[in-house]
Amino acid sequence: MTILEVALPTPLRRRFDYLLPGNWSGDNPMPGSRVKVPFGNQELIGLLITCKSHSHLAEHKLKPALEILDEIPVMDTELLELSLWAADYYQCAPGEALQTALPVLLRQGVPAHLAGETVFTLTPEGKGLPQGALKRSPKQAALLAALQQQDYLRRSDLAPLGISRPILKQLQDKGLVETKELLPERPDTLHLLREQPLVLGDEQTKVMASLHTEGFTTYLLDGATGSGKTEIYLQAIEKVLTQGKQALVLVPEIGLTPQTLARFHRRFAAPVVTLHSGLNDRERLDAWLQARAGHASIIIGTRSAIFTPLAKPGIIIVDEEHDGSFKQQDGFRYSARDLAVMRAQRLGIPLILGSATPSLESLHNAQSQRYQHLQLRARAGSAIPPELRLLDIRNQALHEGFAAASLAAIDATLKAGNQVLVFLNRRGYAPALECHACGWLAQCNHCDARLTLHQSPRHLHCHHCDHQRAVPHTCPECKSPQLFPLGQGTERSESALQQLFPQVPVIRVDRDSTRAKDGMQKLLAGVHQGIPCILVGTQMLAKGHHFADVTLVVIIDADAGLFSTDFRGPERMGQLLLQVAGRAGRAEKPGQVLIQSYHSDHPLMQTLVSRGYHTLAEQILHERQLTQMPPYRHLALLRAESQRPELALQFLERARLLAEDTLPPSPLLSYLGPLPAMMEKRGDRFRYQLQFNAAQRKPLQQLLSQLALQLEADPLGRRVRWALDVDPQEM
Ligand code: ADP
Ligand code: ZN
Ligand code: ZN
């Protein structure tokens, strides 16, 4: 007897058994095929994991599947196994992991059919007509003549020939013309390049020589912004394409800029597809299928693109590997960067992790020789690295958040005909609204957070739960009309700068100003023409963009990460400041970076500015070793939230008891909590977490798998919202 073991889109951490459909004849369906099955009183589409001969359920309890949707599996074995491995590792239901890996349309049951381009061609009967036939209708004759000269016509060919839809239809009705589907051709390995690669500098040459494009190795390509990492990616990809293989390139969520894409298209004649959040479902599926069929040579995408099927995998590249967006923060909480290591290893292909500010995990892996460390120290071409300067702003009169020295530098830069970038990682007008009379602050009713004041349109906005409210005219506590914005947001800096420097455009780049489709591109069009201007923006500006004429960067609130309760705060601060700093002076013009700080004598800040990111990283790594934190230990969080705080707490206490029952606390595994999350109340829910800190992955994994099943079965587990987060990025 054949039993189908199926992963279904439910949050349950198990697989489900079914019989073959009643009318089934022939060979067993292949793993990775979609299966439609009855589930309670609904029908679900799942994925066949394996066919087996025994079930732990009695035969009369098994139901037949309704339909096998694929003859050729939508998911090949490699991808199926990777997804199931990831589901296990990240403690997620297999069905949920597979949901992430499959494009939406496939989950809905749409045929996995690569849509080709519809073209027009002659039927055999049409081909039988003599030259110059159909004379009575000149337009029909013209169409016929055109098709007698070339095999087929594309839709776009019709208008220039003066052929309209009705003419075409007439010939189709006569049975002379038909449509056919034209599939994209396989890439041609002889004509890969559109432009010649750059001549590599000495460091780049050494890096390229150490980079082998056969076999599995993880390379950490550690090179300052502008040192020529992208050129290394392009040349490594070229080698792989020459072997007839594909390249998968992962970029951070907002790092996929038109500039980056244009660079790939300029270099390669081979087909490039992109997978990102701006695609509609059909476009996403097409890109996925093209990768699967091997028609796409280069696949560039954000986090979930790690699950793209590859016909001929050749290399994986993760750009800005330190970026937090590679970790999914809800549902299936996987890290695309870490999965890239696993996938490359399984495929036996090289992986390049690139960054100017590598994560401490990757640096540690490089130090312990798990990764091969490749370094680029100098900037490529003639560019000079920017100079970093700390501006101590204690006891200084600030004008709208700006120190006098910052304003003078901005003025001088603009006068010299250059551009300025002002970085402030807070959108809106001001992060708080305060009553001058009694000190009242506008708070969100649903979160432990202040409401941000926005000016255009004017309203109060919670950036955590999206709650919005009108701005009050008087203080709700004391009725005073003296309500003032407190602190700086991008809108406020924008308007202050516009008043101070009315002669140049001030361009604000944040989530609000770029909301429209292509918003970012339109905003930045002027900037790329090189006219003197001021850019004000959040971290959206820090990623992926190249601003050749920016020679001054002013960082307004550098201190945010220094005192964060998240142990990764200082690491993130260092990465962000250097990424922003890296925007300055990328071309021939040297750049300057001013960092305003209230804590300019803080040792971490001092190290970063005077000795650079790598020394900072060493210092933080040393601290992590002493405090027994990653990368020296392995963390997991059990998160729970509920509108009733006592329920979430009770749930976590129970979980801790269950866990300690299995693995008592020891130097190899310690428990911490339940403790409140960084923001205890958010969106009306109270949030807590239990932390697991283990010396080794394996026992932690086993403990968590068992615990997850116990908690799934626990009645309290159904009354709170809970999740396991393995290798959490946010505490
Ligand atoms: P990164 O990815 O490290 O920021 P890029 O590869 O984008 O660096 O290089 C930065 C700039 O230097 C780009 O304008 C690039 O065209 C140029 N560049 C890179 N390598 C070379 C080279 N070997 N010779 C000349 N210019 C180069
Ligand atoms: Zn008041
Ligand atoms: Zn809120």
Which of 230, 375, 613 to mutate to test ligand 1, by most ligand atoms within 8 A of the CB atom?
Answer: 230
CATH of the domain spanning 202-376: 3.40.50.300
Ligand 1 interacting residues, C-beta cut-off 6 A: 198-201, 204, 223, 225-231, 380-381
Average pLDDT over residues 502-513: 92
**Mean of the per-residue pLDDT values of the chain:** 91
Task: Return the percentage of the chain with pLDDT > 90, whole number.
Answer: 71
**What is the atom index within ligand 1 of the atom nearest the CA of 225?**
4
- Return the SS3 of 687: strand
* 260-309 tens-digit pLDDT: 888 999 999 999 999 988 889 999 999 999 999 998 999 999 999 999 99
Asked whether 512 and 449 are in contact (CB, 8 A), the reply is no
Least confident of 76-80, 156-160, 417-421, 661-665: 156-160
User: 218 alpha carbon to ligand 1 midpoint, in Å?
Assistant: 22
Burial class (CB in 10 A: 0-12, 13-18, 19+), 680: middle
| C-alpha atoms less than 13 angstroms from C-alpha of 182 in its C-beta half-sphere | 14
Listed residues: CB within 5 A of ion ligand 3: 444, 446-447, 462, 464-465, 467
What pLDDT is recorded for position 241? 94
Of 344, 332, 272, nearest in space to 303 by CA: 332
Distance (Å, whole) CA 131 – CA 128? 9
Domain boundaries in the chain?
3-107, 117-182, 202-376, 387-426+488-624, 634-726
pLDDT band at 528 (very low <50, low <70, confident <90, very high): confident
Span from the CA of 440 to the centroid of ligand 3 (angstroms): 17
Domains 117-182 and 634-726 share a fold: no
* Segment 320-333, tens digit of pLDDT: 999 999 999 999 99
Task: Report ipTM for this prediction.
Answer: 0.97
Residue from 700, 646, 630 nearest 671 by CA:
700
Tell me the helix, strand and coil percentages in the chain, rounded to 5.
35, 25, 40
State the distance from the centre of ligand 3 to the C-alpha of 563, rounded, in angstroms.
22
Residue 727 phi/psi, 5° resolution?
50, 55
Q: How far apart are CA 657 and CA 654, in angstroms?
A: 5
Range 82-95 average pLDDT: 96
d(CA 731, CA 711): 21
Instruction: Identify whether the C-beta of residue 36 lies closer than 8 Å to the C-beta of residue 66.
Output: yes
Which whole number is the average pLDDT over 415-420? 94
- Using CA atoms, how far residue 723 sits from 100, 333, 652, 731, in Å, is 17, 9, 11, 13
Provide the CATH topology of domain 387-426+488-624: Rossmann fold (3.40.50)
In angstroms, the Cα distances linking 407 to 78, 500, 558, 646 are 56, 9, 17, 51
- Expressed in angstroms and rounded, the spacing between residue 488 Cα and the centre of ligand 2 is 21
Distance from C-alpha of 646 to C-alpha of 648, rounded to nearest angstrom? 6
pTM of the model: 0.89
| CB-based contact 139:162 (threshold 8 Å) | yes
**Ligand nearest to the CA of residue 379, numbered in listed order:** 1
Query: Which of 366-370, 436-440, 554-558 has the weakest average pLDDT?
Result: 554-558
- Name the band, by pLDDT with cuts 50, 70 and 90, for residue 381: low
Residue 461 CA: which ligand is closest? 3
pLDDT at 187 over 70: no
Tell me what pLDDT residue 513 has: 85
Q: pLDDT tier at 191 (50, 70, 90 boundaries)?
A: confident
Question: What tens digit of pLDDT does each residue of 666-717 get?
Answer: 999 999 999 999 999 999 999 999 999 999 999 999 999 999 999 999 999 9
Question: Which CATH number is 634-726 given?
Answer: 3.30.70.600
> Which residue, judged by its Cα, is nearest atom 11 of ligand 1?
226
- What is the structure's pLDDT at 153? 85
Buried b (16+ CB within 10 A) or exposed e, 504-517: bebbbbbebbbeee
Class of domain 3-107: alpha beta
pLDDT digits (tens, 9 = 90+) for 574-600: 999 988 888 876 666 778 999 999 999
Say yes or no to pLDDT of 494 above 80: yes
The larger pLDDT score, comparing residue 189 to residue 518, is at 518
pLDDT tops 80 at residue 310: yes
CA of 477 to the centre of ligand 3 (A): 20
Q: Selecting from 1.10.150, 3.40.50, 3.40.30, 1.10.10, what CATH number does the domain 117-182 have?
A: 1.10.10
Can you give the pLDDT at residue 340?
98
Calculate helix-pair angle for 697-713, 77-89, nearest 10 degrees: 80
Distances (CA, A) of 91 to 289, 334, 614: 28, 9, 33
Amino acid at 412: A
pLDDT of residue 537: 92
Beta-carbon contacts of 538 under 8 Å, excluding residues fewer than 6 positions away, are 423, 424, 425, 426, 427, 490, 509, 510, 511
